[in-house]
Amino acid sequence: MFDVIIIGAGVNGAFVAYRLAKYQLNVLVIEKESDVANETSGANSAIIHSGYDPNPNTLKAKLNVIGNRLYDDICHDLDVEFKRIGSITIACNEEEIAVLDNLTKNAIQNKVPFTILDEHQLRKIEPFVTTKAKKALFAPTSGIINPFELCVGLMENAMDNGVKLHLEEEVKHIVNLEKGYQVITNKETYQAKIVVNAAGVFADEINNMVNPHQEKIIPRKGEYMVFDHFTEPYVTHTLFSVPTSRGKGVLVTPSTHGNYLIGPSSIFVGEKDDESTSKETLNEVIEQAYRLVDKIPMNHLIRQFAGLRAYHESNDFVINQPIPGFINLLGMQSPGLASAPATSLEVEAMVKEQLDLVDKENYQKTRRPLYRLNKKTLAERSKLIKQNPQFANMICRCEQISEGEIVDAIHRNCGARTVKGVKKRVRPGFGKCQGGFCEPLVMKILARELNIDMNDVRFNNKGSYILKNKTKGEHDDTL
Ligand SMILES: Cc1cc2nc3c(=O)[nH]c(=O)nc-3n(C[C@H](O)[C@H](O)[C@H](O)COP(=O)(O)OP(=O)(O)OC[C@H]3O[C@@H](n4cnc5c(N)ncnc54)[C@H](O)[C@@H]3O)c2cc1C
């Protein structure tokens, strides 16, 4: 019998696992995808919002503000990229200025630090802002994070401390027993004293397996464009439009690794796996982005992607326990990422009400740091190469990623099993060539390190094989 089963390995499931890993508990995380952060937690704006936006007295406001403050220490312990670059919300006309003025009231009530900038002050700190901008709200505590690294870091630390992760296993039924729950997957049947439903856009389906009060989550799609890093100066803060009823609106922001992100759109969709992008929607995103900046570096556009928000009719987070021992995380749309450190504390408190939480003796607070060769000096690189020549073999030339880093990403706890898994952890394929040069090399490393045939290397989930058959002779396994 498990003490706790967590369904879903997005940021919320991973954070709950990380929190509970401190205690002498038998914890299992079940994830239907081939990796952590494969759904919404891997396809969002990656902003750790400051918390001025949500209406005061909502759970979103409370958890966003607390969550934001907790990020520095957690990212330090887990070696996750996080930068407090500050956000600027821009108003271009009288109507938008009225919305901005309301936001300042929220900021005061939510106790979030901010400054109001006039158009001259604004242009001084952010020269690329549109000349139409009249007034802006600067929130210095807003940050950007690497969301893949965050989820992997949380799960790796949880696993270092004994939590179990079962990937590619889908929860199909849950039975409410006299004591605890039976969780039935496509592979196994488990029993647990407590079940945490962190299934994102599917959280209604998990709830509806066991709770007579049926819930509904509607997916709301957000489409983005990603721009490569370039040497000329561009925006250095996260630029937001004033929010509308459809959400926070389009943003323009740098990412932690120097790329730029423009988006997202906000459209309800029928299917929970609809992560397609369309020319029409992205053209609208561009139009919206021109309300923030006068220049968009279209010649550096390298990719589009989409993520799904888990919209609940309350339009707030719903963290409840409709039946003793069954904990729901519903409607975890934005600012769900920013709030996750605080959301997981709420879940921890609920678990504490039911189980004796005894500290683990050998608990490890930190995870082993990553190598990050592209951030090292030449002297530091040479030292590493002397220890392990794989660090001298540059696999991804765009992002400067060595074989040594990829091998390390495969062999850690919560290690990469697929090409996408390697990409999410150490970035080969994120650069200008989008994997055109490095993908075959990454495949060879995966095959060698996992001791599988090249034909069995997958891009991502089940069936996503890249190679079909050998055309002639044996594979050349030299890199
Ligand atoms: C366009 C967009 C932009 C956003 N921008 C921001 C932002 O800048 N800042 C911010 O704070 N928030 C942002 N968010 C919100 C944030 O991304 C989410 O709140 C957060 O990622 C939700 O995490 P989660 O763990 O609840 O869900 P998910 O990441 O979706 O994880 C749920 C997991 O459960 C698994 N699962 C589902 N059903 C089952 C099953 N039956 N069995 C096993 N596993 C199952 C799924 O495969 C999935 O991996 C944004 C969201 C979107 C869509």
Identify the residue whose C-alpha is closest to ligand 1 atom 27. Answer: 200
- The ligand 1 site (C-beta within 6 Å) comprises 7-13, 30-33, 38-41, 44-47, 49, 170-171, 198-202, 206, 222, 264, 307-309, 329, 332-338
CB of 133 within 8 A of CB of 237?
no
Which architecture, in CATH terms, is 374-456? Orthogonal Bundle (1.10)
Could you tell me the pTM of the whole model? 0.97
Q: Could you give the CA distance from residue 336 to residue 339 in angstroms, rounded to a whole number?
A: 5
**Same fold yes or no, 1-84+142-235+243-369 and 374-456:** no
Ligand 1 centroid from CA 11, angstroms: 7
CB of 129 within 8 A of CB of 340?
no
**Alpha helix (H) ranges present in 224-278?**
none
Q: Are strands 135-139 and 115-118 parallel, antiparallel or unpaired?
A: antiparallel
* Annotated catalytic residue within 49, 229, 237, 312: 49
pLDDT in tens, the chain (479 residues): 999 999 999 999 999 999 999 999 999 999 999 999 999 999 999 999 999 999 999 999 999 999 999 999 999 999 999 999 999 999 999 999 999 999 999 999 999 999 999 999 999 999 999 999 999 999 999 999 999 999 999 999 999 999 999 999 999 999 999 999 999 999 999 999 999 999 999 999 999 999 999 999 999 999 999 999 998 999 999 999 998 766 678 999 999 999 999 999 999 999 999 999 999 999 999 999 999 999 999 999 999 999 999 999 999 999 999 999 999 999 999 999 999 999 999 999 999 999 999 999 999 999 999 999 999 999 999 999 999 999 999 999 999 999 999 999 999 999 999 999 999 999 999 888 888 889 999 999 999 999 999 999 999 998 899 998 877 766 565 66
Q: Given the structure tokens 């605080």, which residue do they identify? A: 342
Can you identify the CATH homologous superfamily of domain 1-84+142-235+243-369?
Answer: FAD/NAD(P)-binding domain (3.50.50.60)
Identify the residue whose C-alpha is closest to ligand 1 atom 19. Answer: 336
Identify the residue whose C-alpha is closest to ligand 1 atom 14. Answer: 334
Whether 166 is a known active-site residue: answer no
Question: 165 Cβ partners below 8 Å, 6+ apart?
Answer: 9, 17, 28, 29, 31, 36, 155, 158, 159, 414
Domain regions of the chain by residue span: 1-84+142-235+243-369, 374-456
Buried/exposed 205-235: b ≥16 CB within 10 Å, e otherwise: bbbebbbeeebebbbbbbbbbbbbbeeeebb
3-state DSSP call for residue 153? helix
